[in-house]
């Protein structure tokens, strides 16, 4: 047998020494410095293991001298136990909320009666053997545990604490997941993500620009992009086909409840060689898929209806209709021309533009509800709301005995409608009608002796035939109502839409547990700017007018429609886009109508204008509001609840104290001298 070499003996002895050393090292000593598991990872299968966790002290409870510590990290919660026999007990007694600690201990199974089924880790707890305090926390300016309501300014100033709260933390993570899903779906659709510049030129996107002074070019300014509009079109000019990005956008707008001041994000999209229908059919499944993925089981519209702008304004009083509300308004002017209700009759004769619109209110047939709606309208600065409501009433005796009586004829004509609203009950061989499952009051009358009585000043003045014609047009019945608005629709349409919304909410007609989406198409290319007394762009100045340059040269500008479209969800605009104007002469003519001459167009949009002259493909796109989509999907009250570090409504960043004053040296470098700010008297 060959004797081992000297080198082999040395290696063997070294290996034995290493094994002896390793056997003397505890499991804890070879763990990661801070954790072996997250606070959401441990399960019953880990019982008996020695583990190391790190996180924040969520809360401490003392049960008969035994301390229970809820330890929290980004992933979840784990219960830590320290009793007086534990070597970690002394440190555990000192712990306070939001201290950061490291815990070493053994995983133990909870008893059946102490299992917390609401926690993924609820079947186990950690018996602490060692606790190390990694950092302490001062007294908290707002609580993290329990999430009670707290003043928003405090929440924004201490946003890093606010973000530790469970709901807000989940919202931010949901936002990240939703954006990732958008990127994934766009990639699957053949789109490529490109980044566009943040420092750019000013552009008339409908809001004020944030300007950035140039140090190198004194007296000149960059602008932060209100949208990557020109750049994404230039990408199409450059020969790329399908572009997208999650783009930051900056607009210096006055505070609004439905927008974040300063900046927001959008899913920006552009495609070459497409018509409007191509974009709608490409982007609808992308956003429908995102909603279905994150809707939490709520129904999502499967086929988005296409609604023309004019139709949306006529039916819903807005170009952002909430289709969960079943109320659709109707023009009922014909029923009031020459009627005895002189207020409406005179409005119709005063101008051909004037109309009477009806707002049907299913189940709103009570005087109390009509009075509430009237009070609301007066609070909105209106004189009130005309109304009719219908109630089930017994026929007067004279009508019961005379089949030719107007009310008897009315009852006979309504009888077929009863079967749609009321149940029939057999009692003593007589048919009775009951409403809402009840058999009381006038509902306990033979069917032939009941009719839907129209109630209210409007009904009293226009007569039976006109009120019945209105009821039939609106498909209303007993216990329903309708309200009327009158005048020039351009002036009352916004109020009519608000009244529709109010009635739907008051009567619980809106199903809040669903997502109803639609496309709004055929927007006006131009609109009348009342403040400046001139024609202005109605939506996007870079869109293609329907009819092209011929329409621009020969038609009334206010009659021209655009290849523009919005996507709307539950009353919120969540996306907007259009087919682009890619022809230079059409672009010049479109801007000429709103007061821009050729030189101004070439100066303001030089890059785009030049590109149009070197072979521009037909193209179009859209942008979807990331912030608003996330807000809808997580059910947040406002956009600040889904934004990591938002400003307040006064456009002030309370966490970073921005905006702030610039130093004299900074202003000097930028060649800027400040004028004194005039204080309001």
Shared domain for 357 and 453, answered yes or no, is: yes
Identify the CA nearest to 622 among candidates 185, 204, 228.
228
**For residues 311-337, average pLDDT:** 97
Angle at 225 between CA 224 and CA 231, to 5 degrees: 135
Report whether pLDDT(380) > 60: yes
669 marked as binding residue: no
Pair type for strands 430-434 and 534-537: unpaired
Measured between its terminal Cα atoms, the distance across the chain in Å is: 109
Shared domain for 640 and 604, answered yes or no, is: no
Share of the chain above pLDDT 90, in %: 76
554 marked as binding residue: no
- Cβ atoms of residues 591 and 542 within 8 Å: no
**For residues 186-190, average pLDDT:** 98
Distance CA 103, CA 54 (A): 6
Shared domain for 267 and 365, answered yes or no, is: no
For residue 435, what pLDDT is reported? 44
17: in domain: no
284 marked as binding residue: no
Q: Which of 82, 114, 135 is the last residue of a domain?
A: 135
Shared domain for 486 and 555, answered yes or no, is: no
For residue 243, what pLDDT is reported? 99
The domain that holds 216 is classified in CATH as 3.30.930.10
Shared domain for 276 and 333, answered yes or no, is: no
531: in domain: yes
For residue 21, what pLDDT is reported? 43
Q: Which of 481, 507, 533 is the last residue of a domain?
A: 507
625 marked as binding residue: yes
Instruction: Provide the residue range defining the domain that includes 608.
Output: 517-616
Q: Which helix (H) or strand (E) holds 63?
A: strand 50-63
Scanning the structure block, which residue is given the tokens 């049960």? 63
Shared domain for 632 and 606, answered yes or no, is: no
Using one digit for the tens of pLDDT, what is the confidence trace for 641-671?
999 999 999 999 999 999 999 999 999 999 9
154: in domain: no
For residue 395, what pLDDT is reported? 74
Q: 171-180, 361-370, 429-438: which has the minimum mean pLDDT? A: 429-438
For residue 402, what pLDDT is reported? 66
Binned at pLDDT 50, 70 and 90, residue 9 comes out as low
626 marked as binding residue: yes
Q: Which of 109, 135, 161 is the last residue of a domain?
A: 135
Shared domain for 392 and 428, answered yes or no, is: yes
The domain that holds 88 is classified in CATH as 2.40.50.140
193: in domain: yes
28: in domain: no
70 marked as binding residue: no
Shared domain for 176 and 222, answered yes or no, is: yes
Shared domain for 349 and 390, answered yes or no, is: yes
Binned at pLDDT 50, 70 and 90, residue 478 comes out as confident
Q: Which helix (H) or strand (E) holds 418?
A: helix 406-421
Shared domain for 329 and 357, answered yes or no, is: yes
Report whether pLDDT(11) > 90: no
Other beta carbons less than 10 A from residue 251's beta carbon:
20
Distance CA 453, CA 445 (A): 15
Shared domain for 540 and 495, answered yes or no, is: no
Scanning the structure block, which residue is given the tokens 């510049």? 197
For residue 539, what pLDDT is reported? 82
Report whether pLDDT(371) > 80: yes
Mean pLDDT of the chain: 89
298 CB-near residues (< 8 Å, 6+ apart): 513, 514, 515
Q: 17-21, 65-69, 353-357: which has the minimum mean pLDDT? A: 17-21
Distance CA 660, CA 681 (A): 24
511 marked as binding residue: no
Q: Please give the tally of structural domains in the chain.
A: 4
For residue 664, what pLDDT is reported? 94
3-state SS, one letter per residue, for 141-189? CCCCCCCCCCCHHHHHHCHHHHCCCHHHHHHHHHHHHHHHHHHHHHHHC
590: in domain: yes
Distance CA 571, CA 254 (A): 22
320: in domain: no
251 marked as binding residue: yes
356: in domain: yes
Binned at pLDDT 50, 70 and 90, residue 449 comes out as confident
253 marked as binding residue: yes
Shared domain for 331 and 477, answered yes or no, is: yes
**For residues 570-577, average pLDDT:** 97
């Amino acid at each position: 047998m060959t004797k081992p070499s000297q080198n082999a003996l040395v290696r063997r002895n070294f290996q034995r020494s290493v094994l002896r050393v390793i056997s003397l090292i505890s499991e804890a000593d070879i763990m990661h410095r801070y954790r072996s598991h997250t606070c959401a990872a441990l399960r019953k299968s880990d019982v008996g293991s020695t583990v190391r966790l790190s996180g924040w002290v969520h809360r401490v409870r003392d049960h008969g001298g035994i301390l229970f510590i809820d330890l929290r990290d980004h992933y979840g919660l784990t219960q830590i136990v320290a009793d007086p026999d534990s070597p970690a007990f002394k440190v555990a007694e000192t712990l306070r909320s939001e201290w950061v600690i490291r815990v070493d201990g053994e995983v133990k199974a909870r008893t059946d009666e102490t299992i917390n089924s609401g926690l993924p880790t609820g079947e186990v707890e950690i018996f602490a053997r060692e606790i190390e305090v990694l950092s302490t926390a001062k007294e908290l300016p707002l609580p993290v545990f329990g999430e009670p309501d707290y003043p928003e300014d405090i929440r924004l100033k201490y946003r890093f604490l606010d973000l530790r709260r469970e709901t807000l933390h989940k919202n931010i993570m949901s936002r990240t997941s939703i954006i990732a899903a958008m990127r994934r779906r766009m990639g699957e659709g053949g789109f490529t993500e490109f980044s566009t510049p943040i420092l750019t030129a000013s552009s008339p996107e409908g809001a004020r620009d944030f300007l950035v002074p140039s140090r190198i070019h004194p007296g000149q300014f960059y602008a932060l992009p209100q949208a990557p509009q020109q750049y994404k079109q230039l990408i199409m000019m450059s020969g790329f086909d399908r572009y997208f990005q999650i783009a930051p956008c900056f607009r210096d707008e006055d505070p609004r409840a439905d927008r974040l001041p300063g900046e927001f994000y959008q899913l920006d999209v552009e495609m070459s060689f497409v018509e409007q229908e191509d974009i709608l059919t490409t982007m609808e499944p992308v956003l429908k898929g995102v909603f279905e993925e994150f809707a939490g089981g709520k129904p999502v519209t499967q086929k988005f209806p296409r609604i023309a702008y004019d139709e949306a304004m006529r039916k819903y009083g807005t170009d952002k209709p909430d289709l969960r509300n079943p109320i659709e308004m109707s023009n009922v002017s014909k029923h009031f021309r020459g009627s005895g209700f002189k207020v409406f009759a005179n409005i119709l004769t005063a101008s051909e533009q004037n109309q009477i619109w009806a707002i049907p209110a299913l189940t709103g047939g009570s005087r109390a509800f009509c009075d509430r709606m009237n009070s609301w309208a007066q609070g909105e600065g209106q004189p009130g709301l005309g109304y009719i409501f219908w109630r089930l009433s017994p026929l007067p005796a004279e009508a019961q005995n005379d089949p030719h009586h107007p009310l008897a004829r009315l009852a006979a004509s309504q009888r077929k409608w009863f079967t749609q609203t009321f149940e029939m009950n057999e009692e003593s061989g007589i048919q009775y009608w009951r409403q809402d499952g009840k058999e009381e009051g006038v509902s306990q009358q033979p069917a032939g002796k009941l009719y839907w009585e129209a109630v209210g000043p409007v009904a009293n003045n226009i007569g039976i035939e006109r009120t019945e014609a209105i009821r039939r047009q609106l498909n209303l019945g007993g216990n329903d109502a309708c309200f009327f608005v009158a005048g020039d629709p351009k002036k009352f349409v916004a109020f009519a839409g608000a009244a529709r919304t109010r009635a739907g909410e008051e009567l619980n007609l809106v199903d809040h547990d669903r997502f109803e989406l639609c496309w709004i198409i055929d927007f006006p290319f131009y609109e009348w700017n009342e403040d400046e007394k001139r024609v202005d762009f109605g939506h996007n100045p870079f869109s293609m007018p329907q009819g092209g340059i011929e329409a621009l040269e020969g038609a009334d500008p206010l009659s021209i429609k655009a290849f523009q479209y919005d996507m709307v969800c539950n009353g919120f605009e969540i996306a907007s886009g259009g087919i682009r104007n890619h022809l230079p002469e059409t672009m010049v003519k479109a801007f000429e109508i709103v007061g821009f001459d050729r030189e101004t167009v070439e100066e303001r949009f030089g890059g785009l204008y030049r590109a149009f002259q070197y072979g521009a493909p037909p193209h179009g796109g859209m942008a979807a509001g990331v912030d608003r989509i996330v807000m809808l999907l997580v059910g947040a009250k406002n956009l600040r609840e889904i934004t990591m570090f938002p400003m307040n409504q006064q456009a002030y960043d309370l966490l970073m104290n921005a905006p702030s004053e610039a130093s004299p040296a900074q202003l000097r470098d930028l060649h800027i001298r400040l004028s004194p700010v005039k204080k309001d008297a």
